[in-house]
């Protein structure tokens, strides 16, 4: 069932659980993620990024298919526009029935980021849609949150107060697009930000964080945990194994199917790991 982000994160935060948020790039991803959530009996956030929209050339087809899948299952599913920098794309997502938006004004001057984020919050809240944002860029991109830079708890609290966002992505040691799982989170900083900020915290770049780090991060105060590259690796690994086993294979279903199933299994494992992370 399709639901907004806020109640899912608020309940998880109160119970000390983590919620998995995973990227949808094509239909097989959406099928794997929704199936995993149903298998686990746990909520899930399905994320379509602006980069993916550019790759497909439009938002509506993938969004429509993902929404149908979300509406067919009994567990809570959030349809989330991820890392949107285009205000027009945000408006389109609202028209298409998205229940959550991550507006990424992190490359803007601080004042412009706050102003535009506040405007997005007003637009989205008028339609009952949740908003996530971030102060500056998470590691792995150029910007104030390059590796080694960290979110200041006081700045985070002020940003939430200035903008009215429902969830905040913070820089605490993770980095986007990592293919190794050896990132170390700053657990003391996570706890400090949790105590300073009244809304759930979001961990971007979580593919680079090992299982024990994810659990520790949730226990320290993270709630929404974004994982994309790791699941891409799982999907691609299974597809490559199938292709290597049969060099003459041409039916795409016969290698996309194993990729989808491997992704479903790993997603279910991650959903349970995060949900069971409470101290």
Nearest by Cα to 169 from 202, 217, 120: 202
CA distance 93 to 132: 14
Read out DSSP for 149-166? ----HHHHHHHHHHH--S
Answer yes or no: 152 catalytic.
Answer: no
Residues facing residue 23 across a β-bridge: 47
Q: How far is CA 171 from the centre of its chain?
A: 14
How does strand 19-23 pair with strand 44-49? parallel
Nearest by Cα to 2 from 94, 81, 74, 101: 74
Question: What is the 8-class DSSP label of residue 207?
Answer: G
Say if CB 226 and CB 21 are below 8 A apart: yes
Contacts of 5 (CB under 8 A, 6+ apart): 45, 78, 80, 99, 100, 130, 132, 166, 167, 224
Question: What is the 8-class DSSP label of residue 146?
Answer: S
Which is the catalytic residue, given 39, 82, 112, 276? 82
Which residues form the catalytic set?
Answer: 82
């Amino acid at each position: 069932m399709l639901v907004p982000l806020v109640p899912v994160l608020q309940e998880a935060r109160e119970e000390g659980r983590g919620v998995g948020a995973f990227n949808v790039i094509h239909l097989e991803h959406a099928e794997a993620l929704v199936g995993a959530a149903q298998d686990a009996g746990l909520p899930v956030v399905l994320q379509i990024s602006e980069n993916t929209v550019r790759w497909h050339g439009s938002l509506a087809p993938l969004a429509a298919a993902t929404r149908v899948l979300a509406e067919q299952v009994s567990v809570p599913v959030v349809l989330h526009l991820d890392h949107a920098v285009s205000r027009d794309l945000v408006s389109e997502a609202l028209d298409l029935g998205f229940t959550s938006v991550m507006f990424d004004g992190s490359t803007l001057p601080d004042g412009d980021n706050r102003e535009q984020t506040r405007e997005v919050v007003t637009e989205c809240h008028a339609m009952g849609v949740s908003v996530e944002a971030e102060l500056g860029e998470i590691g792995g991109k150029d910007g104030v949150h390059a590796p080694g830079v960290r979110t200041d708890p006081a700045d985070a609290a002020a940003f939430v107060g200035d903008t009215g966002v429902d969830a905040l992505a913070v820089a605490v040691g993770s980095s986007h697009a990592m293919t190794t799982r050896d990132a170390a989170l700053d657990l003391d900083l996570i706890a400090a930000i949790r105590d300073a900020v009244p809304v759930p915290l979001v961990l971007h770049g979580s593919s680079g964080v090992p299982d024990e780090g994810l659990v520790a991060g949730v226990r320290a105060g993270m709630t929404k945990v974004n994982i994309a590259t790791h699941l891409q690796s799982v999907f691609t690994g299974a597809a490559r194994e199938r292709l290597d086993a049969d060099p003459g294979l041409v039916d795409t279903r016969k290698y996309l199917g194993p990729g989808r199933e491997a992704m479903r299994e790993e997603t279910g494992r991650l959903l349970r790991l995060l949900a069971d992370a409470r101290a």
